[in-house]
Amino acid sequence: MDIGALTDLIEKLVVANHILFDHGVVDAFGHISARHPAIADRFFLARNRAPGAIEPGDILEFDLSGETVQPTGERVYLERFLHSEIYRARPDVMAIVHSHSHSIVPFSVLESKRLQPIFHMAGFIGTQAPVFEIRERFGECTDLLIRDRAKGAEFAKCFANHDIALMRGHGSTVVADSIERVVFRAVYAEINARMQFAAASVDSFKHLTEQEARSCMETNEGQVERPWALWAEQAAAKRARKD
């Protein structure tokens, strides 16, 4: 693969980290990865560092066992197995965002309400997002993290028919076929959660039907380059001011 194209991918992954931080999807925790475009069983993920501070030199290459291809001695994210096992289970997935998005976490613990798309930018949610309950398979003594391959493989089952899944008391994960699209989804999942809470606090609400969700997703996600260009420009300007 052309080294320039790989450099561009890594730079885009850095920008994605900054965008997610700027939009409150991630804070000091959370991460985004991208599958290697030429080697399907490899992916890129930053070392253990806060997303808003990620630089190109922080990006490492991993295999599908969740280990670095060339060990550097750097600390890595505990939940790298979340990424590796989803890539293993979903060959079509090219990028993954995991976050503790503040407006989404409550929907992971509510027993009577699920995260549902209530506006057209969130059609990718489908009719409702599934919730992964780690207790069902691994008991009541875990720290809720996907910290090994067994937990990653179990969690990856949530993505057989969905592109977003919540994790009880923990956060959420979104997948897509590109970095731009997965960032779009992660941002609008958080916005949708805020809107859903606002609507539910006033009265009952209508969510998108399965057909509406599909149609909205096809229309809006055909334009992901527009918000990506804006968000990337804003992220670059913000960091230029800091410099």
| CA 144 – CA 193 distance, rounded (Å) | 21
Beta-bridged to residue 165, according to DSSP, are 173
Domains of the chain: 3-242 (3.40.225.10)
**Could you give the dihedral angle defined by the CA atoms of residues 189, 195, 198 and 204, in that order, rounded to the nearest 10 degrees?**
-100
Q: What is the pLDDT of residues 184-240, one digit of tens each?
A: 999 999 999 999 999 988 888 899 999 999 999 999 999 999 999 999 999 999 988
Q: What is the pLDDT of residues 29-76, one digit of tens each?
A: 999 999 999 999 999 999 999 999 999 999 999 999 999 998 888 899
For residue 190, the model assigns a pLDDT of 97
For residue 197, the model assigns a pLDDT of 92
The residues that are catalytic are: 79
| CA 74 – CA 177 distance, rounded (Å) | 28
